[in-house]
């Protein structure tokens, strides 16, 4: 009864992976410190007709899990590394498991951390495991619990050696494109795999924000019912530049539900009954959204839609506090747009504009996220290829967007690792595509402004294009003031130093006549 794969954590992700791996023919052992959780999983294995329940073993002792692997051969060359996949929340719990499991494992064994984790933390653990000759892999696993069960998109960051060993397993488990290509590839060394997953989530958060903002604009400002919005989203999902966008796909289905959970008979869809606060399982100061926002600042990369989406989540999270602030501000609440009254032909035209605007914002969020990945890859010398990211995001993950991936892939394939640093500078085709959405984004955001509708990610997407397109930004006055109070120095027009270099001119404003 020797196990082939060990899993630590039998929650929805770990449990799903246990069933997925056993469905693919591996004998799997799953450990959880909670007896009930293990029992629940064993019951699921028994009831799942696609799984041979004899291939699934439950453990409440980590030691017993490790001992369930075949005894290691004495002959070095016949040694088969044990593979243990962790599926648990990031942070201290993982440290604890690392401390417990390293002494139980042997040189050459592989631990794959399949949770979301801060990349630098992963690199610490990799160094610690390396001291004992154990390979620690930081791997993003995307697609939620349903993909964990049926095939996720995965981003492993590890040595080439660990990757070569894991490859046949991961390729078997991964989501596949319609052409059968597995959505898993070696991302790079160190924390690069977790980094790419973190930015995947940053992009995901921007997409979530863009879609919730536009759903509200369509419903409350433009007067479409949720059923009409569902049909519209379905048409976007089926055809056009947003074809195959996962969040639009689940969005149109979700909007059709009239009951579920604690909700009964919601005529206009259950969405209207759901509280508007976005909660998080993890500590608010952590998590992929917070880390992405931090990275944007630290790496000095412009990614306003990702940052704005995170801000909206923060604002949304405490409903009571928000209500008190609203009492004090007492400003207008979002209202109906004049465009709600348009005749059908005109309204249809407007909905085409909304389609283009949403495409532009979603495309922009991809560009911003990919720029962060490239910068980090250069800084950390990870050699991540953007084409690889696009390939593994083609199926199984939350930011899957078929038409966009088809557009991006041939353009990114021309570049090597850690390139291009600035997508809109280096790939004119992408800049032109984004530019085509500008007027539509402007129109949609104008409606939001005129109606007091909340649309921070849509606004940030538009301002991103406006500011990076602007040949003469307003920041010259900022330079003047900075130099006035802080001897900051400035450059002179036409004499700008290259790149980020500090200007060499200074004015002693305070000593100027008349000051
Ligand atoms: C994915 C998701 C997933 C996400 C959790 C929690 O790719 O499957 O991004 O990893 O982290 O659903 O979401 P939040 O951290 O955004 O609350």
pLDDT digits (tens, 9 = 90+) for 130-152: 999 999 999 999 999 999 999 99
CB 1 within 8 A of CB 27: yes
Intervals of the chain under pLDDT 70:
281-284, 497
What ipTM goes with this model?
0.95
Under 8 Å CB-to-CB from 456, ≥6 apart: which residues?
209, 213, 308, 309, 311, 312
- Compute, in angstroms, the gap from residue 381 CA to the centroid of ligand 1: 27
Query: What is residue 342's predicted lDDT score, i.e. its pLDDT?
Result: 98
Query: What is residue 281's predicted lDDT score, i.e. its pLDDT?
Result: 64
- Compute, in angstroms, the gap from residue 398 CA to the centroid of ligand 1: 9
Query: What is residue 282's predicted lDDT score, i.e. its pLDDT?
Result: 62
Residue 450: active-site member: no
The closest residue, in CA terms, to atom 17 on ligand 1 is: 280
Q: Which of 4, 117, 123, 197 is catalytic?
A: 197
Q: Which of 204, 213, 385, 419 is catalytic?
A: 204
- Compute, in angstroms, the gap from residue 117 CA to the centroid of ligand 1: 11
| 123 close to ligand 1 (CB < 6 Angstrom) | no
- Compute, in angstroms, the gap from residue 361 CA to the centroid of ligand 1: 20
The string of pLDDT tens digits covering residues 197-228 is: 999 999 999 999 999 999 999 999 999 999 99
Query: What is residue 501's predicted lDDT score, i.e. its pLDDT?
Result: 80
- Domain limits, the chain: 5-190, 197-383+418-469, 475-511
Query: What is residue 474's predicted lDDT score, i.e. its pLDDT?
Result: 97
Please report, for residues 68, 196, 303, 385, 387, the alpha-carbon distance to residue 377 in angstroms, rounded to integers and kept in the order given: 38, 10, 16, 9, 13
Q: First CA to last CA across the chain, in angstroms?
A: 86
The CATH number of domain 197-383+418-469 is 1.10.1040.10: yes
Q: Give the ligand 1 atom nearest the CA of 197.
A: 7
CA–CA gap between residue 46 and residue 60 (Å, rounded): 18
| 144 close to ligand 1 (CB < 6 Angstrom) | yes
The closest residue, in CA terms, to atom 7 on ligand 1 is: 142
The closest residue, in CA terms, to atom 14 on ligand 1 is: 280
Query: What is residue 283's predicted lDDT score, i.e. its pLDDT?
Result: 66
Query: What is residue 500's predicted lDDT score, i.e. its pLDDT?
Result: 76
Residue 319: active-site member: no
- Compute, in angstroms, the gap from residue 144 CA to the centroid of ligand 1: 7
The CATH number of domain 5-190 is 3.40.50.720: yes
One-letter-per-residue 3-state SS of 415-460: CCCCCCCCHHHHCHHHHHHHHCCHHHHHHHHHHHHHHCCCCHHHHH
Under 8 Å CB-to-CB from 69, ≥6 apart: which residues?
2, 3, 4, 6, 29, 82
CA–CA gap between residue 511 and residue 52 (Å, rounded): 84
| pTM for the whole structure | 0.97
CB 460 within 8 A of CB 307: yes
């Amino acid at each position: 009864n020797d196990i082939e794969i060990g899993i630590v954590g039998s929650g929805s992700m770990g449990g799903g992976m246990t069933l997925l791996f056993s469905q693919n023919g591996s004998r799997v052992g799953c450990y959880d410190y909670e007896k009930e959780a293990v029992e629940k999983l064993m019951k699921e294995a028994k009831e799942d007709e696609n799984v041979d329940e004899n291939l699934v073993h439950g453990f409440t002792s980590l030691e017993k899990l490790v001992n369930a692997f075949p005894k290691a051969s004495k002959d070095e060359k016949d040694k088969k590394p044990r593979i243990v996949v962790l599926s648990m929340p990031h942070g201290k719990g993982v440290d604890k498991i690392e401390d417990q499991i390293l002494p139980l494992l042997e040189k050459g064994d592989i631990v794959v951390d399949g949770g979301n984790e801060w990349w630098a933390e992963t690199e610490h653990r990799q160094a610690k495991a390396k001291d004992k000759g154990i390979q620690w892999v930081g791997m993003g696993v995307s697609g939620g619990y349903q993909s964990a069960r049926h095939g996720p998109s995965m981003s492993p960051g590890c040595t080439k050696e660990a990757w070569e060993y894991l490859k046949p397993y991961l390729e078997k488990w991964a989501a596949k494109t319609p052409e059968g290509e597995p959505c898993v590839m070696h991302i790079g060394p160190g924390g690069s795999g977790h980094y790419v997953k973190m930015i995947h989530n940053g992009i995901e958060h921007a997409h979530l924000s863009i879609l919730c903002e536009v759903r509200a604009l369509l419903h409350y400002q433009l007067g479409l019912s949720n059923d009409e919005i569902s049909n519209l989203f379905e048409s976007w999902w089926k055809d056009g530049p947003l074809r195959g966008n996962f969040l639009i796909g689940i969005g149109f289905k979700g909007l059709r539900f009239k009951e579920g959970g604690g909700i009964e008979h919601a005529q206009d869809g259950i969405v209207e009954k759901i509280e508007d606060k976005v909660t998080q399982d993890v500590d608010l100061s952590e998590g992929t959204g917070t880390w992405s926002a931090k990275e944007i600042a630290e790496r000095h990369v412009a990614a306003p839609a990702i940052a704005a989406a995170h801000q909206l989540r923060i604002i949304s999270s405490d409903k009571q506090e928000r209500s008190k602030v609203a009492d004090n501000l007492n400003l207008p609440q979002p209202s109906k747009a004049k465009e709600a009254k348009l005749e059908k032909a005109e309204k249809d035209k407007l909905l085409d504009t909304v389609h283009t605007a949403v495409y532009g914002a979603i495309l922009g969020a991809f560009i911003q996220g990919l720029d962060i990945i490239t910068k980090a890859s250069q800084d950390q010398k990870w050699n991540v290829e953007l084409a690889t990211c696009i390939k593994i995001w083609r199926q199984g993950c939350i930011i899957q967007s078929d038409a966009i991936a088809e557009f991006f892939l041939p353009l990114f394939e021309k570049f090597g690792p850690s390139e291009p640093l600035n997508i809109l500078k280096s790939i004119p085709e992408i800049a032109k595509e984004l530019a085509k959405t500008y007027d539509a984004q402007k129109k949609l955001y104008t409606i939001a402004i005129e109606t007091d509708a909340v649309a921070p990610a849509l606004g940030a997407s538009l301002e991103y294009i406006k500011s990076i397109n602007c040949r003469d930004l307003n920041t010259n006055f900022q330079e003047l003031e900075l130099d006035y109070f802080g001897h900051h120095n400035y450059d002179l027009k036409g004499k700008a130093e290259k790149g980020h270099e500090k200007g060499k001119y200074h004015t002693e404003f305070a000593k100027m006549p008349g000051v």
